[in-house]
Amino acid sequence: MIDVIDNSEVTVSSTSAAGVREQKLSPNQQTEPSSDYIRTEFPTFFAENVTHTLTEFFVALLPADPRIEHIYWDWDESNVLRVWIVIPEPDFSLESPIYDAQMKFMESFPKYDCDFYVIYRFGKTDDSIRPQNAKLVK
């Protein structure tokens, strides 16, 4: 396994298990490590997996109510997570558990800045209410 730390120090080990002998490589080392495989994780892959997991967590917090028609999700340029929940019309009996889910999410992940929005469809089409650049997650 090869681990990259701070994009300059590379550590090679034959397994990811703790206690395995590791060999430090300098950036200029000419020999290739002898290993059966090389495992690499890229930040974008990691970010997509984390975002997917956060999405699943938030959706699981919401009530299982068919009136929650869609959920849109986007990280804006300021690294703020924006979440839009679409419901047909104002309904406090539905909105209250949505707000509870939002609070639980923010309490679970206090390091993330979040903006939540409830959108009332009022009979409009999906395209007319879809937030620009947002990903449909439900």
pLDDT of residue 55: 87
Query: pLDDT 10s per residue in the chain (138 long)?
Result: 444 444 444 444 444 444 444 455 455 555 555 544 444 444 444 445 556 688 899 999 999 999 999 999 998 889 899 999 999 999 999 999 999 999 999 999 999 899 999 999 999 999 999 999 999 999
**Residue type at position 1:** M
Domains of the chain: 1-40 (no CATH), 43-136 (3.30.300)
The whole-angstrom separation of Cα 28 and Cα 7 is 13
Q: Specify the pairing of strand 9-12 against strand 2-5.
A: antiparallel
Main-chain phi, psi angles of 77, to 5 degrees: -65, -20
Query: Tokens 């034959």 — which residue?
Result: 14
Beta-strand ranges (E) seen in 67-136 are 70-75, 80-87, 113-120, 135-136
- Is pTM beyond 0.85 here? no
Length of the chain in terms of residues written: 138
Number of other CB atoms surrounding residue 93 within 10 Å: 9
